[in-house]
């Protein structure tokens, strides 16, 4: 993370939005807009992420504004929490930096019929069993093996390919964003190296901020929306955060290498080489989009298999099958992805490529892409917090389409770099500190917990207050952690 302070202009638009005017830098096509309140904006100034918001505004074909959510922090190319839409019919480009290395990193929430009182006495045993049976850690694979041909099938079909293997249900597919499938994926554009890395990693958490957390519903804010999502007070849920693992990382790495010199080829001037991009209709743009879609479909398979393994562990611990435990998928949302969507820009409906980098989709009530169950309430928006505080379930609202291309924050957002968090944890036992709060935490290393300690993150409650105040999404339920496994 950058440690320099942003000294550029930040003009207050309203209590929840700040503008970087396009006059800030010659070459900006649009303003930058950052969603934050007075307290958060002061912390945001202490990072150069706003500079990245301004830099994104240089991308050809960008529409309306370069946007950032309240969980904004420094990233590769785009800030984490960055959103932009580009119009392919207006010289629009696609930029891997606007998707990220972990293509289709995302969050999945599973509800259950178990209560906090049912699970609390078993939480130590349950977390140990999850830690033993769900693969975690850098480069670590799991029990599922897919050769190159099978991987291409997963990348073409998404988790629907797992139904016949008995590892997914049709309902699981229905309650996954985009039904777990970006069409027009091109697995043949994915390198052999990427396929080798994906061989045993589908169904594994990975490391960093990825996790599987057992939670309970602490408070309900919208009874009707919560009931539609199957959520109730004190109900135990499982939240899963992971992405496309080494396969997706390799796809991004390969793409960035192939895009060197491409902006210059098309006469595109950029303030940061990490914003490497290609016109959407170019051969280079088509190649990246085909490979990105394939990696995104793999990521949905990964979260499906992680959920399946969690269900199996619950079955063993509670001696009932997952169906009778009521362990149904509430929803699965991506937050590192680019998608071709219809939006209204300056009163005109057009199809644009929406880059969401550390930002999640938040479609409003009656959007045609939502499952019928959620039509009256809006899309479930899943916002994980840190290990010690809370996570949130929100519902997308109409203002998201007007303000943010149907997008919302994706988490709390880092406040300390991983290195700074490790320094701050020196001489401490983060697992014991969490245990004193009644939270069981397991990880592959002391460093893994130190990097992800609660103090490394903004308070997710503040972040959620901003998007709720801006009308982008409304609060449905708050969830508190009981136990967590990390890489």
Is 355 assigned a catalytic role?
A: no
Determine how many CB atoms are found less than 10 A away from the CB of residue 308: 20
Active-site choice (210, 343, 355, 410): 410
Question: How far is it, in rounded angstroms, from Cα 357 to Cα 345?
Answer: 20
Question: How far is it, in rounded angstroms, from Cα 175 to Cα 372?
Answer: 10
Q: C-alpha angle 169/171/173, rounded to 5°?
A: 80
Residues 6+ positions from 371 with CB-CB distance below 8 Å: 174, 175
Question: How far is it, in rounded angstroms, from Cα 290 to Cα 284?
Answer: 10
DSSP for 424-473, written as a single string: HTTT--HHHHHHHTT-EEE-S-HHHHHHT-GGGB--HHHHHHHHHHTTSE
The answer to whether 284 and 142 have CB atoms below 8 angstroms apart is no
Listed residue (381, 395, 388) closest to 458, CA to CA: 388
Residue entry with tokens 């039509």: 375
Q: Is 65 exposed, middle or buried (0-12, 13-18, 19+ CB in 10 A)?
A: buried
Question: How far is it, in rounded angstroms, from Cα 339 to Cα 337?
Answer: 7
The answer to whether 462 and 44 have CB atoms below 8 angstroms apart is no
DSSP-based three-state secondary structure for 330:
strand
> Which two structure tokens, joined as six digits, stand for 327?
């362990």
Residues 6+ positions from 409 with CB-CB distance below 8 Å: 35, 69, 70, 71, 81, 359, 360, 383, 463, 464, 466, 467
Q: What Cα–Cα distance (Å) separates residue 17 from each residue in 32, 58, 467, 469?
A: 10, 21, 10, 10
Listed residue (56, 51, 55, 48) closest to 94, CA to CA: 56
Catalytic residue numbers read 410
């Amino acid at each position: 993370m950058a440690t320099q302070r942003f000294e550029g202009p930040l003009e207050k638009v309203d209590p929840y939005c700040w503008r970087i005017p396009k006059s800030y830098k010659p070459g900006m096509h649009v303003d930058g807009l950052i969603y934050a309140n007075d307290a958060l904006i002061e912390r945001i100034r202490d990072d150069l992420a706003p500079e990245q918001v301004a830099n994104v505004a240089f991308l050809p074909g960008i529409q309306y504004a370069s946007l950032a959510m309240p969980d904004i922090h420094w990233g590769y190319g785009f800030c984490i929490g960055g959103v932009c839409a580009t119009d392919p019919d207006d010289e629009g480009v696609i930029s891997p930096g606007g998707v990220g290395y972990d293509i289709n990193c995302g969050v999945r929430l599973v509800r259950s019929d178990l209560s906090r009182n049912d699970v609390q006495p078993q939480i130590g045993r349950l977390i140990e069993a999850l830690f033993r049976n769900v693969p975690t850690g850098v480069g670590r694979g799991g029990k599922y093996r897919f050769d190159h041909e099978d991987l291409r099938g997963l990348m073409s079909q998404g988790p629907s390919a797992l139904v016949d293997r008995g590892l997914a249900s049709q309902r699981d597919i229905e309650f996954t964003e985009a039904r777990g499938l970006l069409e027009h994926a091109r697995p043949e554009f994915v390198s052999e190296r990427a396929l080798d890395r994906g061989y045993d990693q589908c169904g594994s958490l990975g490391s960093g901020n990825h996790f599987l957390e057992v939670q309970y519903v602490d408070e309900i804010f919208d009874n009707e929306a919560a009931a539609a999502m199957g959520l109730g007070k004190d109900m135990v849920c499982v939240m899963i955060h992971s992405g496309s693992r080494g396969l997706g990382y390799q796809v991004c790495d390969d793409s960035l290498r192939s895009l060197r010199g491409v902006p210059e080829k098309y006469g595109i001037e950029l303030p940061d080489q990490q914003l490497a991009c290609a016109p959407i209709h170019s051969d280079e743009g088509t190649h990246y989009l085909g490979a990105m879609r394939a990696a995104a479909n793999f990521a949905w398979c990964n979260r499906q298999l992680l959920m399946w393994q969690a269900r199996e562990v619950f079955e063993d611990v509670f001696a009932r099958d997952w169906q009778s435990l009521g362990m149904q998928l509430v929803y699965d949302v991506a937050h590192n992805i680019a998608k071709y969507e219809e939006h209204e820009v300056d009163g005109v409906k057009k199809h644009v490529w929406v880059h969401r980098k550390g930002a999640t989709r938040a479609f409003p009530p009656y959007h045609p892409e939502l499952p019928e169950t959620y039509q009256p309430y809006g899309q479930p928006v899943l916002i994980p917090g840190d290990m010690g505080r809370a996570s949130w379930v929100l519902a997308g609202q109409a203002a998201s389409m007007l303000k943010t291309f149907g997008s919302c924050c994706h988490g709390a957002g880092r406040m300390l770099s991983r290195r700074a968090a490790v320094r701050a944890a020196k001489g401490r036992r983060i697992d014991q500190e969490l245990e004193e709060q009644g939270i069981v935490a397991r990880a592959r290393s002391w460093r893994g917990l130190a990097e992800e300690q609660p103090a490394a993150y903004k308070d997710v409650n503040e972040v959620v207050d901003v998007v709720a105040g801006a009308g982008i999404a409304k609060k449905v339920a708050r969830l508190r952690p009981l136990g967590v496994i990390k890489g």
